[in-house]
Structure formats: C-alpha cells, structure tokens
Amino acid sequence: MNHAASRPTARQDDGGARPGRRRILASLGALPAGAVLASAGAATAAPGGKGKGKDSTTNGGFRLGVENLLEPETLETLRDARVGLITNPTGTDRELRSTIDLLVEAQDTGGFTMAALFGPEHGVRGAEPAGGSVGDYIDEKTGLPVRSLYGDTQKPTPEMLADVDVLIFDIQDIGTRFFTYIWTMYYAMEAAGENGKRVVVLDRPNPLGTDMEGFVLEPELSSFVGLREIPQTHGLTVGELARLFNGEFLDGAVSLEVIAMSGYDADDPAAADLPWVLPSPNIPTADTAVVYAGTGLIESLNISEGRGTTTPFLWFGAPFITESHVDAIIAELQSAELPGVLYRPMFTTPASSKHAGEFCGGLQLHVTDPRAYEPVRTGIHVLSALLRTVEEVDWREGEDCRTEEDVCWIDKLSGTKRTRAMLEAGDNPESIVTAWRRESRRFQLTTERYRLY
C-alpha cells in the first residue's frame, strides 16, 4: 500500500524444493473458531484435501470465494441479514464483475439487504493514492452509504455497525504484513466480535503462495503496517489469515465464516489464471506484487522505490546514484546468487513521490522465475548493497534515526529493530535471513490448523 501492504510459491517437496521455501501440508485437526462454508465444489477443511474439494474437477475447476457464496445453498446463509461489504476494485469474480454489483443483484434471491459499503486504504473504488484521505459518502452507482476504514477511523465504530448484521470481506491481499488491507480485516473482525456481528470472508489466492519470510513482528512496533505478530510474508490466504486471527489473537470471539475457494493449489497460485486487478495504485502488475514484500523495504531509505515511474517497486534509484554505483550494486547482488531474478541498469525521472522531477540512476529487477524468487531475502540484499555501496544512502528519517531508542520506518516495516542494527553493523545479509528462519518455522507450526488448502 502501498504503505511502505503477492507470487507463486515453493516447489513440491519431492524433487526440488528450495531451502527457505517450505511447502506446508495442512493438518487441520479440530476445526478452530470460525466455520468454513463450502458450496458444491468449494474447498473444504478436510485434512489432506489441499483445498481441492471433492467436486472441484466436475464444476469447472477453480472458483473464487465470491463465486461459491453465490451458490443458492450458501447464499441462503445471508437470508434476512443486513449486509455491510468491505471491498475495493479487486473484489470481483473471474469475469471481473464487481462483488458490489453481484451482491446487489443477489439481494432478492438471497433474501438479504445491502446496507453499506466499507472502504479500506485507496477507497471502495480505488481512486485514492497511498496514504490519501478517504471520507464517507454515498456511492453514486448503488446509492449505498460508503464508510471509510482508513484515516481517522480504521476500526468500525458501533455507530457504523448499527444497521449491519453481517460484514463481508472481499479484497485481494498480496501476502505481506505491511499491506494494510489485512489489518482492515483484523479491525473489522475485532469490532464485529465486540458488537455481536458476523464476519464472512470470501477467500482469494495469495499470489506469494506459502512463501513465509522475515522476522515475526515485535508487539512494541505494532502499527497499521503491522498490527499483530506475523512474519513479513505470512504464507496464508485472507481466509486462512482470518481463521488465524480469530484463533490466536481474538480468542475466538468472532462469529466467522470463510467461503473457501474451489480447486485452489496453494503451491501454484498462478494456476488460478485470474486477470490482474491492481489492488492499489502502485501495484499495477502481477510482477510488482511478486517483489513488493521485499522492495517495499526501500521506502525506509532516502531512495526512490519507484513511485512516480512505470515500474514501482521493480525499480529503485536516486539522483546521487551514478553508473559506477549501479555497476557495483549489480555486481554485489549477482554475487549473492539470489534465485529467480536478473538486474539491469535503468535511469529515469520519477514524476511524483521521492526525488520527483530529478534524473535518477538506479536499476530494475526482472523476475525470471516467480516460484523460485524470494522477495524478502532479495529485499534485504538490496538494502545491504545500497548501504554498502553508496555513501549518500541513509534512512529516510536521517538524523532522527540514529539510536536504538528511535523508531524508524525500517523498524516498522521489518517488524524489529534487529534488521536496522544488523544492516548498520555491515552484517552479511544472509545472517539476517538466518536470524529470522527460526521464527518463521515456529509461525509455520502455528498456521497448520488454520490452513484450508
């Protein structure tokens, strides 16, 4: 979000899984708080099912949660309810029909009433820039009130929920802790539990699959780019993440239903073959989503992360980066032998954000194998190369980010002050990767009973 908030995942364990990319086999055991509703062909929570429901081969294969919700027997669960929908332009079916329109059209059949729309960062229609103000208004197309969940009010108030019985969440996540939509979902769940409302999450693929990298957030660094203790890439779909939130952080307080996908392979999310709908203005392509979890860390530097260019988060640079700097950075990254990525010099002038209007030297990442690419590991190597190679590179706060007591953007994004300390000490980037792997493994074990696929 483009605060600085996705990529196919690990290879199969048999025959070539890479270190650091671990396929997770769900062993759900007892169903945690929050039911999983499945229409004909929907994914079920059966142990060992890997999300491929028993009828998924006979109903046309992959189906989104919103498509399974609209099956008559599942839609019946909304009868007599007043529905509030949390969504944005990514809330569509496979034919790119808006979830807003689909639910408005289904009111008579399902016997429910659409009561309100709720907008996350960038708004229901996705028009606002990163960090932009999103206010309340009346949606021109539907006539429904739109209530903002970004800015002054991030958690639904009792007044916002007074005329709502069920909150439905349908937004595409991209798999990283600092993409704010998942925290909109968390706050909505928390508010629903406090006000006796139901929550229904319509599941969608995680473009990063089961990729799980980075330190687990330290609670004292909690913010809207990371509220709770999960790694930098969490390896869960939004439905699975909602189940984890309810089971681990909200003490099962929420009446939660997840409408699962059908025919979804968590190890190859790209196989769903969905049209790309940009989840925020600076994630315009699927390639951008692949790298964002790592190159989003560049926001913490006085370096442009590519906002205001045609390649946000795929390119980075600054006016003080020269051709010789670029060559040295590329040489350092190449020596690391990071999988699934190539690099090339690129000079451009950002039209907005950092270094707007200034000619900048930099380089572009080209992801050659999304299933092999490790976004957070790569991002740490990029930060290290910049700090080692270019004297002018600094944290974006400058003199306000010098001591252990300071809380800097890199601390919030990486979820710990250890990342900053190790980079400043000149530690090998791989030592940072090694430091987080034990935490990621522990989190993996926690996630197993919440997995659906």
Q: Say yes or no: 261 and 311 in one domain.
A: no
pLDDT, the chain, mean: 88
Q: Say yes or no: 250 and 290 in one domain.
A: no
Q: Say yes or no: 337 and 232 in one domain.
A: no
Domain of 248, in residue numbers: 35-280
Is the model's pLDDT at 8 over the cut of 50?
no
The angle at the Cα of 217, spanning 212 to 223, to the nearest 5 degrees, equals 120
The predicted structure's pLDDT at residue 29: 29
Task: Read off the pLDDT of each residue in 132-159 and give the average, rounded to a whole number.
Answer: 89
Q: Say yes or no: 98 and 239 in one domain.
A: yes
Nearest to 250 by CA among 202, 200, 188: 188
Last residue of a domain, one of 247, 280, 313: 280
Whether residue 6 is contained in a domain is answered as: no
pTM score over 0.75: yes
The string of pLDDT tens digits covering residues 49-89 is 334 333 433 334 999 999 999 999 999 999 999 999 999 99
What's the CATH code of the domain at 408? 3.90.1150.140
Whether residue 3 is contained in a domain is answered as: no
Total tally of structural domains belonging to the chain: 2
User: Quick one: tokens of 8?
Assistant: 């196919």
User: Quick one: tokens of 357?
Assistant: 């209007």
Task: Read off the pLDDT of each residue in 286-296 and give the average, rounded to a whole number.
Answer: 96
Q: Say yes or no: 272 and 307 in one domain.
A: no
What's the CATH code of the domain at 192? 3.40.50.12170
Q: Say yes or no: 365 and 260 in one domain.
A: no
Q: Say yes or no: 255 and 297 in one domain.
A: no
